[in-house]
Structures are given as structure tokens and as C-alpha cells.
């Protein structure tokens, strides 16, 4: 793959004297007399990444020097923040879910509900309120527990209004990919045409200011480039943010970066999650890493408009995680994998030892049925979740993504659910929690390697039952003091890694980080006293 440099990178060409920048390791040739001036210009623009362009990925980011796990690559603020398509009614300023608000405040201008008057009167709402007030008679949002289609137009409206309110930002926004040409044939285009384009042009009176194409382009930019912002507590609405540099990162189903978005400031920090070599492309993941190949590729096809052929998607075993693999119905040890994983609708699935085959349609039918069964289980129903695992053990590989989702829930429920509080768990249940977390980690280590949230959270869930098991075993006289110490030191290593990762997360969304630091200090003091 050739990654051509774009003109955006710093290039100061003048012969005579050479220097290598210690930051980006670029070589500069200076005229001696201009050296200091040019060097100070470079110092302010030197970054550990650069934007390059490539036939397959379009614009993308590559590392300009070796990066260590945890190292910050860049940070940037969201240029636009707004509600995600299909969200339930929320305050347009702070995104609090309105079903949890006792007394709503209706904006006198546009009639949108807000959590409080102060939010409705915020400067951020001013320009959109003028537009939305023209549709005042159609804006009647009364059921706060159900999504309302009018919210679909808020974030695209905020984008197009930049044209007059912040022309520079609008220019940058207009340079982002929208894929109107590819999206034109989709069902989504037709929905946007009615719910957003016609609403904004015909009902809100923007027909003279914005063409249909321009409004569709705003919707496209958001679909292709925006990031989800996870807000804590009652703001757990899905909110979108546009981050122009981050949106240049290409997708790979196993990424090498990790990002955190501060839920108060909407500032994104992108870090290397694993070691990255100078010249390597920087990847993020546009999908859920624990989904199977067919689901990930389908999301990417529908919303990002490309066919992912990354190493994980091209490998029937998904890098030996077997996240989509089935058990062979014919032989006891067989595992069934797609023969051509990039042709999900046509490929046969074949058992490795006995060569028995299933059609793609049969596999889809089975998985759809099991997905439905899984979705109908209550989110806290430990017994039903356990039952699901045992009932389908002969159909799915132990690491199958459906089982992995079940394990993710169980890893939290054992020890936290009121019926399964940690101190009340039996030895067997503690061992169950440990084995669930270890299985999850074995998958996370491959699909979300390094300093990632999934690993941090799972390591944190793992430490407590391990500690309790060691304590109870020692107190029952079933191990020596030396063996006990050894087990506690192993727990400390796990908690120490969990803490390191959780401290990188948004402090508002992970109360775990503070608890982890406290627990780590306690264990360290305890080890010192043993
Ligand atoms: C968020 S944008 C990334 C920046 C974009 N390349 C640009 O030039 O502005 C996402 C788009 O980049 C391209 N892209 C990203 N990752 C890709 C991948 N793994 N394979 C093919 N195209 C990819 C697709 O066109 C996708 O819709």
C-alpha cells in the first residue's frame, strides 16, 4: 500500500543545514539564517501523526514516529454535538433524558421540551430555535419515553447553520466525506428525505437557503464521520459528536488506537492502545468489536458505505477468536466456519474434521433465532442467561459472539446484582465469575488489545472474586501463607493493570477508576504487612 503524503504536513525546504525533529522525526533542511525562525514554526505544528491520502482508504492518519501504548496522539474538541437518530426526547442543551425530569420547561420559541429554563435559553439553542419556531405548530413532544422523529433533524440542522454562524467551521465540515452518490439508493436516504430534508426545507422554511443535496450531505457527513459520545447517568442518551481530525482515521476491526470523550467538555483524546511503529496507519473501530463478522460488515456497508476486508473480516476464525463459529451438528468435536467470510450471503459453512456443510441462509436463520431468544431474556436474569449458555452449547462455539454478550452481562451481574452481591457468592459462584472474566479477556486481548475500556472493565471485575477466593481458601486452612501471598500478588498485578486503563477513561463515566485506585492502595498495604 502506498501512502502518499498530503501537502498538509510540515515541509520546510531550504538546503544547507539538516536537522531531524525529535517529535515527528522528519528531516528538515534549513538555510542557516532562517533556522531559528523555521524551527519555532515547526515546533508548533509538529504532531505524532500526519494526514495522507490513499486510493483504498481516502484520507487517513499515519504515525510520524514510534508510539507507545497509552501515548496521546492528539486531542480535539467536538465541532458539533447533537442527539443521535432514534434517541428518546432529551434536553437539546445538556442531553438529559426527559423521561427522568419531573417538571419540563417548554421553550417559548420552538416548543421543544428542556430539562430547565437555563438550558432553553443557552446561546447554543438560539439559531436553531429561530428555524424550529417556524414549525412550532408541528412540534408536540409529549411522550418522553418514546423516540420522536423531529429529533432526527436537530444535529443536521446544527451542521448546516454553521454556514452562517461559523463559516470557517462550516468550510471544514463541508470537506468531510458524505457519500451522497452511494447513499442516494438507500432506504435511509428516503427516510431522511421526508423526516429531515422536507421538514427543514418546507416546514422550517429553509428551502431558499439550503438545497436538498446540501441537507443530505450534512446527514451523510454525520452518518459517515460522527462518533458516539457516552454520557453518564440520566444523560445516557446516545449523543453524536463531530471531531474533524479523528474522523480522518480509517476503520479496522482490530484497531490500534483508543479514544475517550470527556462527557463535560466533549473533548476527545486519542491514544495508542498498542505499540505503533512510525509510518503505520492509525485505525479506530467504527463498529462494536465483540460483534461477529457479518454484523460488523453489515453496519459498515449500511452506514459507512464500504466493504470491510480487514485481516479479521477476511479470516474465517476472526484471528482465532472463533467469535462467529458454530458447533458441527454431525460430529462431536467439529467447528463450522464460513469458507469465504467476505461473501456472507453465498458462502457455505464447513466443519473442519468431517467436511459437513451448511448454507449461509441456514446459518443466518439459526443466528437470527438465537439473537431473538437472547434479546427476550431480561437484562438481569442470571438464571436465564446461564440457561441460554448451556442450552446452545451444542450449537455455538464457546466464544461465539452471542455467548460473549451473555458473558459480558454475567461478568457484571455476579457480584453486583442485589441477589448476587460479592460477599454472598459461594466459592462455586466466585469461580464462575473468574472463569467468565478470563474467557472474556481472552477474546478482548485479541479484538480490543492493549489499554482499552473492555479490558480495563473486565480486569476490574476479575480482581475481586480472585481476592475473595484466595482469602477464603487461606482462612479455611486450604493453602499456606506463601501460596496465599503468591495469589494476592497476582491479584495486585491484575488490579494494577485495570487501574492504569480505567484512569485513562472519562472520570464522569467510570466511578470504577476511583474505586480501583483505592482497592489497589489497600492491597499494596496489605501485601507489605503480610
Ligand atoms: C470517517 S471517514 C474516514 C476519512 C475518509 N477516508 C476521508 O477521506 O475523509 C470514513 C470513510 O473512509 C473510508 N474508509 C475508512 N476505513 C476504511 C476501510 N477499512 N476500508 C475502506 N474504506 C475505508 C470509507 O469511505 C468510509 O466511508
Least confident window among 213-227, 301-315, 499-513: 499-513
pLDDT of residue 476: 97
The larger pLDDT score, comparing residue 366 to residue 530, is at 366
pLDDT tens across 277-287, in order?
Answer: 999 999 999 99
Report the 10 Å Cβ neighbour count for 516.
24
- 3-state SS, residue 380: coil
The larger pLDDT score, comparing residue 29 to residue 407, is at 407
CA distances from 259 to 212, 320, 401 (A): 34, 25, 23
CA 281 to ligand 1 center in whole angstroms = 12
Mean pLDDT of 488-517: 89
pLDDT grade for 403, boundaries at 50, 70 and 90: very high
**Nine-digit cell at 66?**
514510534
Q: Identify which of 366, 445, 363, 364 has the alpha carbon closest to the alpha carbon of residue 404.
A: 445
CA 59 to ligand 1 center in whole angstroms = 7
Mean pLDDT of 502-509: 84
Integer Cα distance of 446 and 322 in angstroms: 11
Burial class (CB in 10 A: 0-12, 13-18, 19+), 2: exposed
The larger pLDDT score, comparing residue 137 to residue 5, is at 137
CA 191 to ligand 1 center in whole angstroms = 23
Ligand 1: residue whose CA is nearest its atom 26:
304
φ/ψ of 204, rounded to 5, equals: -95, 0
> With 80 as the cut, is the pLDDT of residue 439 above it?
yes
Which residues touch 405 (CB under 8 Å, ≥6 apart)? Answer: 290, 374
> In degrees, to the nearest 5, what angle opens at C-alpha 87 toward C-alphas 384 and 408?
30
pLDDT of residue 41: 66
Mean pLDDT of 60-85: 96
CA 250 to ligand 1 center in whole angstroms = 5
pLDDT tens across 323-366, in order?
Answer: 999 999 999 889 999 999 999 999 999 998 999 999 999 999 99
pLDDT grade for 2, boundaries at 50, 70 and 90: very low
pLDDT tens across 256-280, in order?
Answer: 999 999 988 999 999 999 999 999 9
pLDDT of residue 512: 74
CA 178 to ligand 1 center in whole angstroms = 10
Q: Which of 306, 311, 314 to mutate to test the pocket of ligand 1 (most atoms within 8 A of CB)?
A: 306
pLDDT of residue 10: 39
CA 57 to ligand 1 center in whole angstroms = 5
pLDDT of residue 247: 97
pLDDT grade for 378, boundaries at 50, 70 and 90: very high
Question: Which pairing describes strands 283-284 and 250-251: parallel, antiparallel, or unpaired?
Answer: parallel
pLDDT grade for 233, boundaries at 50, 70 and 90: confident
pLDDT of residue 116: 95
pLDDT tens across 173-224, in order?
Answer: 999 999 999 999 999 999 999 999 999 999 999 999 999 999 999 999 999 9
CA 201 to ligand 1 center in whole angstroms = 30
pLDDT of residue 7: 36
pLDDT of residue 42: 62
Q: Which of 226, 248, 250 to mutate to test the pocket of ligand 1 (most atoms within 8 A of CB)?
A: 250
Ligand 1: residue whose CA is nearest its atom 4:
248
Integer Cα distance of 377 and 382 in angstroms: 9
CA 197 to ligand 1 center in whole angstroms = 25
| Atom number, ligand 1, closest to the C-alpha of residue 175 | 9
User: Looking up cell 490500534, which residue turns up?
Assistant: 256
Integer Cα distance of 237 and 511 in angstroms: 18
Mean pLDDT, the chain, whole residue set: 91
pLDDT of residue 327: 97
Largest CA distance in the chain: 82
* Whole-angstrom Cα Rg for the chain: 26
Mean pLDDT of 405-411: 97
pLDDT tens across 449-480, in order?
Answer: 999 999 999 999 999 999 999 999 999 999 99
CA 495 to ligand 1 center in whole angstroms = 37
CA 54 to ligand 1 center in whole angstroms = 10
CA 58 to ligand 1 center in whole angstroms = 6
pLDDT grade for 506, boundaries at 50, 70 and 90: confident
Q: Identify which of 230, 254, 255, 250 has the alpha carbon closest to the alpha carbon of residue 240.
A: 230
Integer Cα distance of 400 and 447 in angstroms: 13
pLDDT of residue 231: 85
**Do residues 211 and 169 lie in contact, with contact meaning Cβ atoms separated by under 8 Å?**
no
Q: Which of 304, 307, 313 to mutate to test the pocket of ligand 1 (most atoms within 8 A of CB)?
A: 304
Q: What is the percentage of the chain residues whose pLDDT exceeds 90?
A: 82
Integer Cα distance of 322 and 404 in angstroms: 11
Q: Classify each residue of 72-84 as buried b or exposed e, where b means 16 or more C-beta atoms within 10 Å of its C-beta.
A: ebbbeebbbbbbb
- 3-state SS, residue 358: strand
pLDDT of residue 26: 60
CA 331 to ligand 1 center in whole angstroms = 42
Helices 212-225 and 154-165 sit at what angle, rounded to 10 degrees?
Answer: 110
The larger pLDDT score, comparing residue 232 to residue 68, is at 68
> With 90 as the cut, is the pLDDT of residue 20 above it?
no
Side-chain-facing half-sphere of 458: CA atoms under 13 Å? 26
Mean pLDDT of 61-74: 97
pLDDT of residue 46: 79
Q: Which of 49, 174, 220, 224 to mutate to test the pocket of ligand 1 (most atoms within 8 A of CB)?
A: 224
| Atom number, ligand 1, closest to the C-alpha of residue 177 | 9
Q: Classify each residue of 129-145 as buried b or exposed e, where b means 16 or more C-beta atoms within 10 Å of its C-beta.
A: bebbbebeeebebeebe
The larger pLDDT score, comparing residue 368 to residue 236, is at 368
CA distances from 33 to 19, 27, 30, 39 (A): 14, 18, 8, 11
CA distances from 24 to 8, 21, 50, 54, 214 (A): 14, 6, 9, 21, 38
Q: Which of 3, 174, 177 to mutate to test the pocket of ligand 1 (most atoms within 8 A of CB)?
A: 177
Pocket (CB within 6 angstroms of ligand 1)? 56-60, 176-177, 179, 224-225, 247-248, 250-252, 304-306, 308, 310
Question: Which pairing describes strands 27-30 and 105-106: parallel, antiparallel, or unpaired?
Answer: unpaired
> With 60 as the cut, is the pLDDT of residue 45 above it?
yes
> With 60 as the cut, is the pLDDT of residue 93 above it?
yes
Integer Cα distance of 490 and 497 in angstroms: 11
**Do residues 84 and 154 lie in contact, with contact meaning Cβ atoms separated by under 8 Å?**
no
pLDDT of residue 156: 98
Secondary structure letter of residue 128 according to DSSP: H
pLDDT of residue 14: 35
Please tell me whether the interface predicted TM-score (ipTM) of this complex is above 0.95.
yes
| Atom number, ligand 1, closest to the C-alpha of residue 53 | 8
Mean pLDDT of 11-24: 52
pLDDT grade for 33, boundaries at 50, 70 and 90: low
> With 60 as the cut, is the pLDDT of residue 8 above it?
no
pLDDT grade for 30, boundaries at 50, 70 and 90: low
Q: Which of 251, 301, 302, 309 to mutate to test the pocket of ligand 1 (most atoms within 8 A of CB)?
A: 251
Amino acid at each position: 500500500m502506498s501512502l502518499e503524503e498530503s501537502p498538509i504536513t510540515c515541509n520546510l525546504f531550504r538546503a544547507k543545514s539538516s536537522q531531524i525533529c525529535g517529535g515527528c522525526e522528519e528531516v528538515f533542511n534549513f538555510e542557516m539564517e532562517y533556522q531559528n525562525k523555521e524551527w519555532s514554526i515547526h515546533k508548533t505544528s509538529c504532531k505524532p501523526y500526519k494526514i495522507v491520502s490513499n486510493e483504498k482508504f481516502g484520507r487517513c492518519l499515519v504515525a510520524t514516529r514510534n508510539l507507545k501504548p497509552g501515548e496521546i496522539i492528539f486531542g480535539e474538541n467536538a465541532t458539533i454535538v447533537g442527539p443521535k437518530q432514534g434517541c428518546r426526547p432529551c434536553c437539546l442543551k445538556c442531553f438529559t433524558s426527559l423521561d427522568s425530569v419531573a417538571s419540563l420547561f417548554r421553550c417559548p420559541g420552538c416548543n421543544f421540551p428542556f430539562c430547565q429554563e437555563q438550558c432553553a435559553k443557552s446561546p447554543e439553542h438560539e439559531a436553531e430555535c429561530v428555524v424550529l419556531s417556524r414549525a412550532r405548530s408541528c412540534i408536540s413532544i409529549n411522550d418522553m419515553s418514546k423516540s420522536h422523529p423531529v429529533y432526527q433533524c436537530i444535529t443536521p440542522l446544527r451542521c448546516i447553520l454553521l454556514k452562517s454562524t461559523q463559516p470557517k467551521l462550516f468550510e471544514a465540515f463541508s470537506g468531510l466525506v458524505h457519500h451522497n452518490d452511494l447513499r442516494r439508493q438507500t432506504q435511509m436516504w428516503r427516510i431522511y428525505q421526508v423526516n429531515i430534508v422536507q421538514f427543514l426545507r418546507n416546514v422550517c422554511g429553509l428551502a431558499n437557503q439550503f438545497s436538498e443535496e446540501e441537507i443530505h450531505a450534512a446527514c451523510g457527513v454525520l452518518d459517515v464521520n460522527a462518533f458516539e459520545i457516552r454520557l453518564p447517568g440520566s444523560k445516557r442518551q446516545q449523543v453524536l459528536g463531530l471531531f474533524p481530525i479523528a474522523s480522518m482515521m480509517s476503520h479496522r476491526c482490530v484497531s490500534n488506537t483508543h479514544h475517550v470523550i470527556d462527557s463535560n467538555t466533549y473533548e476527545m483524546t486519542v491514544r495508542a492502545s498498542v505499540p505503533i511503529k512510525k509510518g503505520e496507519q492509525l485505525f479506530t473501530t467504527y463498529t462494536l468489536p465483540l460483534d461477529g463478522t457479518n454484523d460488523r460488515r453489515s453496519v459498515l456497508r449500511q452506514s459507512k458505505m464500504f466493504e470491510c476486508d480487514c485481516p479479521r473480516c477476511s479470516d474465517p476464525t476472526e484471528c482465532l477468536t472463533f467469535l462467529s463459529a458454530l458447533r458441527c451438528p454431525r460430529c462431536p468435536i467439529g467447528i463450522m466456519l464460513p469458507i469465504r467470510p467476505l461473501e456472507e450471503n453465498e458462502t457455505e459453512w464447513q466443519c473442519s474434521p468431517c467436511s459437513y456443510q451448511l448454507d449461509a441462509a441456514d446459518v443466518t436463520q439459526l443466528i437470527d433465532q438465537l439473537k431473538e431468544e437472547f434479546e427476550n431474556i431480561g437484562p438481569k436474569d442470571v438464571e436465564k442467561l446461564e440457561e441460554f449458555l448451556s442450552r446452545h452449547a451444542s450449537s455455538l462455539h464457546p466464544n461465539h459472539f452471542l455467548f460473549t454478550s451473555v458473558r459480558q452481562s454475567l461478568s457484571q451481574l455476579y457480584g453486583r446484582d442485589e441477589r448476587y452481591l460479592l460477599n454472598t457468592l459461594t466459592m462455586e459462584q466466585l469461580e464462575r465469575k473468574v472463569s467468565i472474566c478470563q474467557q472474556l479477556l481472552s477474546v478482548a486481548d485479541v479484538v480490543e488489545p492493549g489499554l482499552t475500556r473492555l479490558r480495563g472493565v473486565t480486569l476490574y471485575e476479575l480482581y475481586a472474586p480472585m481476592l475473595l477466593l484466595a482469602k477464603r481458601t487461606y482462612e479455611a486452612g486450604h493453602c499456606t501463607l506463601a501460596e496465599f501471598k503468591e495469589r494476592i500478588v497476582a491479584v495486585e498485578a491484575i488490579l494494577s493493570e485495570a487501574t492504569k486503563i480505567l484512569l485513562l477513561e472519562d472520570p464522569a463515566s467510570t466511578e470504577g477508576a476511583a474505586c480501583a485506585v483505592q482497592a489497589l492502595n489497600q492491597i499494596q498495604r496489605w501485601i507489605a504487612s503480610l
